[in-house]
Amino acid sequence: MKAVKLLGLLFGLSLTGLTFGQIAEEIVTESSEPEVEEVLITPLDDIVAKRIMQERFILPYEPVREADLFWEKRIWRVLDIREKMNRPFSFPDAPFFGIMVDGVESGDLTPYGDEKFTNKLTSQDLTNLLFSIDTTFVTNPDTYEDEMTIVQNEINFEDIKRFRIKEIWFFDEESSTLKVRILGLAPIKDVYDQNTGDFLFEQPLFWLYYPESREYFARHKVYIPGNDANPLSWEDFFEMRSFSSYIYKESNVDGFRLQVYPSLAGSDLNSGIQRLLESEKIKASVFNFEHDLWSY
């Protein structure tokens, strides 16, 4: 009996040693061939990593009391990026419209469907505005037959040539100065007839409430020719009013634009030159208002 127990004990120890040996061999095998994950490091396309603009913050607007608002007027402008002064808006690497769309898609900017900022657009509304659905025929490489395929086309940034700006000019009695604040920005898309290709009308894609968008625009750089290290942001660009634009509407009792309400008095404003001259009159009247408050 003792011999049988001894043989069983030796057999058990041999199995245990075999099991530990297999585990040790597997551990050695796994440790000798570790899995190496490749990490791709993108080279820095600059001298240093620039983070100053990403970490900056903006100062809030100076508070204005309602009792100090002596006078105000709402002005609507058109900013054409084809003008020489507005060329930064069409910088290929970072067009301003592309910055707006990225902010809307990321949720940093809130798009509205009207210029009074009462109708927030949903994600589906944005998809309908920024994408178009077309059908095209594609040849199947296996059957060599033409199959109809639905293609979703994204709007081309180069198709946006103009922006609308809504702003308020007001006279602050506390500081005795004439000031201006931008209220809204809207990219304009030209709509053409699909059959004839004739121009039909211009359509604002969406409106952004500028006071809420200042922080986002302050983190995006404006390309200024002559100095690639220029730290000017889009918020600085608008606050400094470094853009060129013309007035197409002022606040009036009928809500008419320039090409409509003066024609009721017999003026011919069908030409662009006449509308531009009328725009300059409105601009001059705003500045003359402040001058007329003082005596020299």
The CA-CA-CA angle for residues 164, 166, 105, to 5°, reads 60
Residues 6 or more apart whose Cβ sits within 8 Å of residue 258: 247, 248, 249, 269, 275, 278, 279
In this prediction, residues 137-146 reach a mean pLDDT of: 71
Q: How many domains are contained in the chain?
A: 1
116, part of any domain: yes
153, part of any domain: no
181, part of any domain: yes
- Give the per-residue pLDDT at 32: 52
132, part of any domain: no
Place of tokens 């030159």: 273
Residues 6 or more apart whose Cβ sits within 8 Å of residue 173: 67, 68, 69, 70
Cβ atoms of 171 and 178 within 8 Å: the answer is yes
Which pTM does this prediction carry? Answer: 0.76
**Secondary structure letter of residue 45 according to DSSP:** S
pLDDT digits over 173-219, tens only?
998 889 999 999 999 988 877 778 777 888 899 999 999 999 999 99
The Cα–Cα gap between 32 and 26 comes to 10
> In angstroms, what CA-CA distances link 227 with 30, 232, 243, 248?
55, 10, 18, 33
Instruction: Tell whether the model's pLDDT for residue 123 goes beyond 70.
Output: yes
Quick one: which of 91, 95, 98, 108 has its CA closest to 54? 108
174, part of any domain: yes
99, part of any domain: yes
Q: Name which of 55-64, 153-162, 176-185, 265-274 the model is least confident about.
A: 265-274
Range of the domain at 112: 77-120+160-245
3-state secondary structure of 39: coil
171, part of any domain: yes
- Give the per-residue pLDDT at 109: 94
